Amino acid sequence: MIGRKHPYFPYLEAMLEAAHLAKGIHAYYQAKGFTHGTKSGPTDLVTQADRESEEAIKELLLSRFPEAGFLGEEGGSEGDKALRFIVDPLDGTVNYAHGFPFYGVSLALEVEGKIQVGVVLDTSRDEAFYAVRGEGAFLNGRPIRVTERKELLGSLLATGFPYDVAKDPENLTYFHRALSRGLLVRRPGAAALDLVYVAAGRLEGFWEVKLNPWDVAAGWLIVEEAGGKVTDLEGRPYRLGHRYIVATNGHIHEALIQTLLAQG
């Protein structure tokens, strides 16, 4: 566990509280029904639960830490950049809208450009994944670790696709390469959960193209704190805003990148 005296403990505590507020909102609209609109196209949905979760999270975090900035998927960016929260209030909106129970909320605290705290809550299963830099990664208070599997073939992998994949089909090429070489690949539909599943040893690896900072900021830290590796598609250390992310248990990392990039 992360000690109460740790300088980031108050942030972790507030972020877990904010994640549970989102959980209540996700559950409320799942039971009551909700309206939705679209964003970039007909399959890019936004529901009342996305918007109200972001508002509730923002209000709680900024009332506790008024000096912080805030970057959220639904509200854009505001305030100080030295200390800011990066939030996806509902990751897996399409799953949520269909009652397919694989969605959650992702919150990260970035300090001087470095993620220091990450929280991802699977709001339908009440699984809270979190990490503070240097302190390890946890699931509902218990330490988690990536797997020790070394063979790519037989590893369980996940990926995802942007809403405009028809216009930007690059990941279809990688997906095809992976499947045609016999790899086991899933497309669960919530990138933040895909990442923490690598951290928890439920997947060996995950890659995706064109994710946003709010999709990955928390999960990235949680994977690294669980002993995993996170890079771009050339094996360079990951940075927020990169077009590519590859997150694995470390052992299969090179082999996965080589397979995705292998021509012919």
Chain residues binding ligand IPD by CB under 6 A are: 88, 91-93, 160-162, 189-191, 211, 215
CB of 21 to ligand IPD, least distance (A): 17
Please, what is the minimum distance in Å from the beta carbon of residue 195 to Ca ion?
11
Give the β-pairing of 83-91 and 69-72.
parallel
Tell me which residue of 141, 118, 143 sits closest to 130, measured CA to CA.
Answer: 118
CB 219 within 8 A of CB 205: no
Cβ(114)–Cβ(120) below 8 Å = no
Per rule CB under 5 A, count of chain residues that contact Ca ion: 6
Shortest approach of Ca ion to residue 50 CB, angstroms? 6
Q: 162 touches which of ligand IPD, Ca ion, none (CB within 5 to 8 A by kind)? A: ligand IPD
Distance CA 100, CA 229 (A): 29
Rounded to the nearest whole angstrom, what is the least distance from the CB of residue 254 to ligand IPD in the complex?
24
Q: Which of 52, 88, 194, 208 binds Ca ion (CB under 5 A)?
A: 88
Q: Which is nearer to ligand IPD, 50 or 110 (CB)?
A: 50
Query: Which one, 92 or 228, has the nearer CB to ligand IPD?
Result: 92
- Phi then psi for 176, rounded to 5 degrees? -65, -45
Residues in 89-118 that interact with Ca ion by CB under 5 A: 90-91, 93
**From the list ligand IPD, Ca ion, none, which binds 248 (C-beta under 5 to 8 Å, kind-based)?**
none
Q: What does the alpha-carbon distance between residue 188 and residue 255 come to, in Å, rounded to a whole number? A: 22
Instruction: Report whether 204 contacts 186 (CB < 8 A).
Output: no
CB nearer to Ca ion: give 199 or 257. Answer: 199
SS3 state at 239 = coil
Task: Report the distance separating Cα 189 and Cα 197, nearest Å.
Answer: 12
The pair of structure tokens assigned to 237 is: 């250390």
* Window 207-236: contact mask with Ca ion (x via CB under 5 A): --------x---------------------
Q: Least distance to ligand IPD from the beta carbon of 250, Å?
A: 23
